[in-house]
Chain A
Amino acid sequence: MARRSPRATGAPAPEVIRVENVSKRFIVRKDNSLKERLVTLGRSGRRYREDFWALRNVSFTLQAGTTVGLIGHNGSGKSTLLKVIGGILDPSSGSVARRGRLAALLELGAGFHPDLTGRENVYLNASILGLSDRETESKFREILDFSGIGDFIDTQVKFYSSGMYVRLAFAVAVHTDPDVLLVDEVLAVGDEAFQRKCLDKIRDFQQEGRTIIIVSHSLGQIVELCDRAILLNHGEIVFDGSPREAVADLRGILEHRRQSDLTAAEVSAEARVRSARAYADGKAPGALVSAGDDLVIDIEVSSETPLEGWICAIQIDGALGQVVYGTTTLRVGAQPTELVGTRTVRYVLRDTRFGPGRYFVNISVMDHAQRHVADAPQITWFDVEDYEVAVGVVSARPEFEELSE
């Protein structure tokens, strides 16, 4: 991937954001009215407060021109961190220093007033984001063109469709000429064509040396857009580096959480996928899988009550969550005998050609009517060895030649 490194221009990129030991504590109060507050005043009031650390000792610096992804599960503190950087929340301790003009796209159209027309809202919103009236006037044409709103610009925005609303808001935000842009989950708006337009704009921004911080649950987007990713877990930085590795780590965390949720929940299904492992035929489990290897998946299933005509399904997901491969005993044409007690079954996938990276295996047991009886998402995984000449989920040997007339 030909990504512009910040050092490509020769001159060292200046630092734009310095986050030092930032912690943020939220105090959750349970007494909210004056009366309750007075009643619980003083020492006993402590019982009505709960501390929650959204961020703990977070430090990093950011060079101009980099695009950074903040990732983590829900509640890991990434949006809080973004708000602290944006100056919307004050940190409980530590400091954030920054320079240059900042625009925060935390919510598109936050400043829109439904009763005002599109035009009035453009001026208001641009002013909120720091543009003077004259600057807005000179950019108004561009904003209007980008949004594609057309004649509706003089209609009250409460009559807009949600897509139009968001398009106009995005158009205003990207025309404020920011040095630093904070983006929170807003790239997933509008129709596909508009999304592409947004991503193109982000790429223009990268070319122009603007610094971008993105919070997103779309891990694919993070890997695609960012030069660097910071993984947060319970308010702490657990990884800071290449987006690809950060995303793989996050999946590990998510998986861990899911499994602890699972053991906590009561397992009432009569059938169960007890364990599974995936490895290349002839190699030790855990060894890297190479293109052309046969992949073996051993699955241990059990059922308390006899299960007639059952189906065993497997699905392989890439590190970004996309489905790479899937099959069932139904498709294969196998008819496993009645399942009762514990049994081990095996899939062998011949001559696999997965692209480099980590893959997760999901296994399901279904009854004869294809109702899911037991699911084991991401029960095991395997790693495929690096292939430096290509990326993606498929491995193929590339050749290139020029055809003359």
Chain B
Amino acid sequence: MTAPLDAGAVRAARFAELAITPMEVVSSASRPFWDGLKSVREVFSRRELLSLLIRRDLKARYKDSALGFVWSLIKPLTQLAIYYVVVGHFLGAAKGIPDFAVYVFCGLTIYSLFSETLSGATSSIVTNAGLIKKIALPREVFPLASIGAGGFNFLVQLAILFIAALFLGGFQLGWSLLYAVPAVVLILIYTTALGLFLSAINVYLRDIQYLIEVGLMVLLWGSPTVYSWTQARSVLGNGLLLELYTDNPITLAVLAFQKAFWVGHMTGVAYPGLLIERIGIAAVVGIGLIFVAQRVFSRLEGNFAQEL
């Protein structure tokens, strides 16, 4: 139908171009250690695909449901209501924390960024088995696409948090808002590292995706989302345990997020010192982990197609 008139010329041109293209070895496992950059380049060159995959995930998620995206808000809002009523008032956690609703929602928003992206990324390779078994692609795009889709939900929640903080919490725009940036960056770094690593492992051991659910539950309660850091300190004391608790990247991100959106932090609530420095160190460690995770991923990806 669209065959060019002179197929011979097309053919000659194609041959000439092929002749000057270098031969490339196909397999990924044989790449040397430092060649992780190549994968980064590959993923970057497929960024259009990445954005299409993110859109696919988002479109497909609530397709044919009447409320659609509203559902992605109902869950965190319900969680907020439960924690506000049960933990805040029944258990009395709200007494020491002004503006408890905004406080909890701060923590939940940043925490759910982590939990959604991580659980999405972990199962991403298995969910996309059909594609991975049939088409050669840089497989890193699948966990990254789930992180992107999770990030979109986060933005919606963030908007609500922002509005709630403005109207309920007497929140004022100020420089402290900038604390949100390192918090989000830190979460994205860790979710990328863990997501890459766990999505690859999950192909071989499907237990991982259930293990993740348990781990995420521990992390929710292991960071000061529904109680305050001071309350944790009074139990853990000032020693190593508290340092471990505080330097957990989720805790750091939650604390920074609260600083950004919750006015209570100005009313004399204690915070660990050197918060930004701690985040900086955690971020550097996290970037190191991304490299390790990427290596593990590319080691394992060669056998994805046969294991799925």
The reply to whether B56 and A113 contact each other, CB–CB distance below 8 Å, is yes
Mask: chain B, 29-53; 1 = CB below 8 Å from A; 0 = not: 1100000000000000010110011
B217 within 8 A of A: no
Cα separation A64 to B206 with both chains bound (whole Å): 42
Closest 6 CB pairs of A and B: A90-B302, A209-B11, A207-B7, A87-B136, A110-B134, A14-B19
Identify which of residues 119-145 in chain A touch chain B, using a CB-to-CB cut-off of 8 Å: 120, 123-124, 127-129, 132-133, 142, 145
Known contacts A106-B134, A111-B131: A142-B60 contact under CB 8 Å: no
The reply to whether B60 and A116 contact each other, CB–CB distance below 8 Å, is yes
The reply to whether A133 and B59 contact each other, CB–CB distance below 8 Å, is no
Cα separation A104 to B134 with both chains bound (whole Å): 8
Cα separation A210 to B10 with both chains bound (whole Å): 10
Which residue of chain B has the shortest Cβ distance to A28 in the bound complex? B306
Q: Per a CB cutoff under 8 Å, which of A14, A88, A207 touches B135?
A: A88
Q: Which B residues are in CB contact (< 8 Å) with A87? A: 26-28, 136
The reply to whether B27 and A179 contact each other, CB–CB distance below 8 Å, is no
Cα separation A179 to B21 with both chains bound (whole Å): 12
Which B residues are closer than 8 A to A by beta carbons?
A: 1-4, 7-8, 10-12, 14-19, 21-30, 46, 48-49, 52-53, 56, 59-60, 63-64, 130-137, 205-207, 302-303, 305-306
Known contacts A98-B23, A204-B3, A208-B14: A120-B59 contact under CB 8 Å: yes
Q: How distant is A113 from chain B, measured CB to nearest CB, in Å?
A: 6
A100 within 8 A of B: yes
Q: Per a CB cutoff under 8 Å, which of A97, A115, A128, A210 touches B25?
A: A97
Q: Which A residues are in CB contact (< 8 Å) with B132? A: 88
The reply to whether B305 and A88 contact each other, CB–CB distance below 8 Å, is yes
A368 within 8 A of B: no
Q: Which B residues are in CB contact (< 8 Å) with A156? A: 63
Q: How distant is B191 from chain A, measured CB to nearest CB, in Å?
A: 23
Q: Can you give 16 contacting A-B residue pairs, CB < 8 Å? A: A15-B23, A37-B205, A64-B18, A87-B26, A96-B27, A98-B24, A99-B23, A100-B17, A100-B21, A116-B56, A128-B131, A129-B135, A133-B48, A142-B2, A156-B63, A208-B10
Q: Which B residues are in CB contact (< 8 Å) with A33? A: 205-207
A277 within 8 A of B: no
Cα separation A34 to B59 with both chains bound (whole Å): 34
The reply to whether B136 and A209 contact each other, CB–CB distance below 8 Å, is no
Mask: chain A, 334-372; 1 = CB below 8 Å from B; 0 = not: 000000000000000000000000000000000000000
Cα separation A286 to B175 with both chains bound (whole Å): 95
A263 within 8 A of B: no
The reply to whether A110 and B305 contact each other, CB–CB distance below 8 Å, is no
Q: Which B residues are in CB contact (< 8 Å) with A208? A: 3-4, 7, 10-11, 14
Which residue of chain A has the shortest Cβ distance to B60 in the bound complex? A115
Q: Which A residues are in CB contact (< 8 Å) with B30? A: 90, 95
Which residue of chain A has the shortest Cβ distance to B50 in the bound complex? A127
Q: Per a CB cutoff under 8 Å, which of B15, B52, B134, B136 touches A127?
A: B52
The reply to whether B130 and A110 contact each other, CB–CB distance below 8 Å, is yes
The reply to whether B23 and A116 contact each other, CB–CB distance below 8 Å, is no
Q: Which B residues are in CB contact (< 8 Å) with A104? A: 134-136
The reply to whether B52 and A9 contact each other, CB–CB distance below 8 Å, is no
Interface size class, chain A:
35 or more
A154 within 8 A of B: no
Q: Which A residues are in CB contact (< 8 Å) with B10? A: 207-209
Which residue of chain A has the shortest Cβ distance to B210 in the bound complex? A34
Which residue of chain A has the shortest Cβ distance to B23 in the bound complex? A97
The reply to whether B131 and A88 contact each other, CB–CB distance below 8 Å, is no
The reply to whether A113 and B14 contact each other, CB–CB distance below 8 Å, is no
The reply to whether B18 and A179 contact each other, CB–CB distance below 8 Å, is yes
Q: Which B residues are in CB contact (< 8 Å) with A204? A: 3, 7
Q: How distant is B210 from chain A, measured CB to nearest CB, in Å?
A: 10
Which residue of chain A has the shortest Cβ distance to B136 in the bound complex? A87
The reply to whether B305 and A89 contact each other, CB–CB distance below 8 Å, is yes
Which residue of chain B has the shortest Cβ distance to A14 in the bound complex? B19
Which residue of chain B has the shortest Cβ distance to A20 in the bound complex? B25
Q: Which B residues are in CB contact (< 8 Å) with A209? A: 7, 10-12, 14-15
Q: Which B residues are in CB contact (< 8 Å) with A116? A: 56, 59-60
A77 within 8 A of B: no
Q: Which B residues are in CB contact (< 8 Å) with A90? A: 27-30, 302-303
Q: Which B residues are in CB contact (< 8 Å) with A14? A: 15, 18-19
Cα separation A65 to B130 with both chains bound (whole Å): 30
A102 within 8 A of B: yes
The reply to whether A83 and B305 contact each other, CB–CB distance below 8 Å, is yes
Q: Which B residues are in CB contact (< 8 Å) with A83? A: 305
**Sample of 7 further A-B pairs with CB below 8 A, known A85-B26, A111-B130:** A11-B12, A97-B24, A98-B23, A100-B17, A124-B56, A179-B18, A204-B3
Q: Per a CB cutoff under 8 Å, which of B15, B27, B56 touches A11?
A: B15
Q: Which B residues are in CB contact (< 8 Å) with A100? A: 17-18, 21
The reply to whether B133 and A88 contact each other, CB–CB distance below 8 Å, is yes
Q: Which B residues are in CB contact (< 8 Å) with A99? A: 18, 21-24
A18 within 8 A of B: yes
Which residue of chain B has the shortest Cβ distance to A15 in the bound complex? B23
Cα separation A18 to B27 with both chains bound (whole Å): 13
